[in-house]
Structure 1
Amino acid sequence: MTPAAEVRAVFRDAGVRGWLHARPVTGDGTRPTAREVGVGAHVPVVMASVYKVFVLVAYCRAVDAGTVDPREPVVVPVRRTPGITGISALADPVTMSWRDLVTSMVTASDNAAADVVHTRVGRDRVAALPAELGLTGTRIRGGTDDVFADLLADTGTDDVAAAFAVLADNDVPVRTRALSPVYGSSTTAADTTALLGMLWRGELASDGSTAFARRVLGAQIWPHRLRAGFPAAARVAGKTGTVGAVRNDVGVVTYPGEHPVAVAVYTHAARSDAAVPRADAAIGAAARVAVHALRAPAL
């Protein structure tokens, strides 16, 4: 069975539609490789919080350009994007530096931090990044606050918690823009691994900013998707994305003494329950199949 066939079997057994791409990340970017594993790698998919990787890149570039001081304190008021992690879940005003806001945005997928940073680095600037980087299958249309506004309108609810409760009800089918790559921020699995490869090779920012980006992606707190597919010896750095039945995780996996491998897994579960452990586990299992097919010693 080919790796792609194995990945399809993982998705099928978990009851999800899935899209995956994996490719080696060479050390200097000068050695293109035809080695890859793909399943629907060029099909448009919902990004959810994976869009925050683009905000991270835009932030790193702003720091390099001197337009953002990473140590500058920022007061985030009570009225902010809701969420269950980071400052989104706090009740009082918060003061943090820009770099700490970015750290919370990536490691905990903090929605409030993401929208504050997104606005600071420039939403137009973030939206222009995919075309600038040659990622023709990617569109950034707003931030998490825009997704939530659409979600409230489409579910006829007054708050985000109620909207997600509607999404989680399998007996109440809802058509919402948040679950469609046509209306919201969208990408492809192949575009995602291309972005991760450029970031890992240091092609998008200075050495210092690249090291910062790699460090915060490596500190993501969620162990139940991509990271669950690999042993402790492997370093896994990445970013999740979740909205309703959509569950994603993308990142770079590095075994000791081997070339890193970028992998992106996007899924849409058959059930809309808030927790679908089999769907989460399928992300790690599919990523493991793809990455293991591409493992190679570093030269």
Structure 2
Amino acid sequence: MIEERIRQVFAEAGAEGRLHAVPVHGPAGAGAEEPGGRGVGIGADDPVVIASIFKVLLVLEFARQVAAGQLDPRERVRVTAADRLGGWGTAGCLDDVELSLRDLAHFAMSVSDNSAADLLLARVGLDTVRLLAAELGLERTRIAGGPRDLLESMLAEVGARDERDFAVRYPALPDDRKRRLAVLDPRRTTASTPREITLLLRLIWTDAAGPPEACSFVRDLMSRQVFRHRLVSGFPDDVTVAAKTGTLPGLHMEAGVVRYPDGGCYAVAVFARTHALAASRPTVDAAAGRAAGIAVGFLRGDGR
């Protein structure tokens, strides 16, 4: 069975996987059935931590507000030392940076810039992002807060004063203590299910998640993601992938849409939880891509 093949891919990488893959085109409204009943799922309705994949919803809400004339995408924002969370993009800059709201969206999606996402969330509104999830029928999707909220939760649980202190304290914790962090528990943090994430992608790709210009904006930014080590690794070079990653200790995830030269489009959401926190990251990332490739290959009937 295709499900057993996919489980084996994750097992060989020292991980347990959750996955859902489905053709994009077909009824995609709230409560809609998968097109033709065709889909591949491994724990597709299990709750999963989505981490930075929540930025897809954030940027979608931003784009909808721009389309409605509620926000000027050219509005300037200054990213200061107090806004830096560490990591990619403006989050790791040494000096203050000024840029537009739409460039915050670009950095949040292309390099998963946490400072950019946090500032954009402050402008868009956490409650409006939550309302958007409900409007789209994502009944099991919960947004606990922005990147800063999650970071502060981790610092508090470990008893760290700041990120540098966390970097010292966290490695010294036993693995079972690390596993109990709230940010790794879908019951206590930003979470969804693989099936709801592919529904979100289908809604965006069919212009059913908002005005066409808003959906197009999100699709374009997802196509600009620089990280190419998960979903992309599971497909031939002539297949394009527009996606968003998410990463936390022991959690490797990505959701996106793959498009074949013949026009076939498939929404895929993959979530891998490693058995050991020291598991090889490249091995797990490659397994995520391989699992996605197998699932989509089955939907295409190519015998993979």
Deviations 1:235-275 (A, max 9, x none): 00100001111111110000011321000001111222386
Report Cα offsets for 1:197-246 as digits up to 9, x if no partner.
Answer: 00010112222222221111011111111111112100001000011111
Does structure 1 conserve the Cα–Cα contact (< 8 Å) formed by 2:65 and 2:71? yes
**SS in structure 2 opposite 1:248?**
strand
TM-score by structure 1 length?
0.93
Q: Which whole-Å CA distance do the structure 2 matches of 1:172 and 1:10 have between them?
A: 24
Residue of 48, 54, 69 corresponding to 2:57: 54
Aligned equivalent of 1:234: 239
1:101 to 97, 100, 104: 104
Displacement of 1:73: 1.7
* RMSD across aligned positions (CA): 2.0
Work out whether 1:278 is the aligned partner of 2:283: yes
Deviations 1:34-86 (A, max 9, x none): 00000000000111111111101111111111111112221222211412101
2:119 matched residue in structure 1: 116
- Residues in 1 aligned to 2:284 and 2:131: alpha-carbon distance in whole angstroms: 32
Q: Within the alignment, does 1:160 sit opposite 2:163 as a pair? A: yes
Aligned with residue 77 of structure 2, among 58, 65, 74: 74
Match of 1:15 in 2: 14
In structure 2, distance between residues paired with 1:63 and 1:285: 37
Matching residue of 2:221? 216
Aligned to 1:63: 66
Matched-pair identity in %: 39
Give the corresponding residue for 2:182: 177
2: CA distance, partners of 1:113 / 1:133: 24
Aligned residues: 296
What's 1:24 paired with? 23
Asked if the contact 1:22/1:262 (under 8 Å) is kept, the reply is: yes
**Separation of aligned partners in 2, 1:52 and 1:164:** 25
**2:210 matched residue in structure 1:** 205
Partners of 1:227 and 1:168 lie apart in 2 by 30
* Aligned counterpart, 1:126: 129
Query: What is the one-letter code of the residue matched to 1:75?
Result: R
Give TM-score, length-normalised by structure 2.
Answer: 0.92
Residue ranges of structure 1 left out of the alignment (5+ in a row): none
Task: Go from structure 1 to structure 2 and tell me whether the alpha carbon gap of 1:187 and 1:99 turns closer, same or farther (over 3 Å shift).
Answer: same
Structure 1 residues 172, 42: CA separation in 2 closer, same or farther (over 3 Å shift)? closer
Q: How many Å separate the matches in 1 of 2:28 and 2:271?
A: 25
| Counterpart contact for 2:84–2:92, Cα < 8 Å | no
Deviation of 1:173 after TM superposition, in Å, equals 3.3
Structure 2 residue ranges without an equivalent (≥5): none
Q: Is this contact kept in 2: 1:130–1:136, CA < 8 A?
A: yes
Matched-pair contact (CA < 8 Å) for 1:259–1:296: no
The answer to whether the 8 A contact 2:153-2:183 is kept is: yes
What secondary structure, in the 3-state scheme, does the structure 1 residue paired with 2:118 have?
A: helix
SS in 1 for 2:82: coil
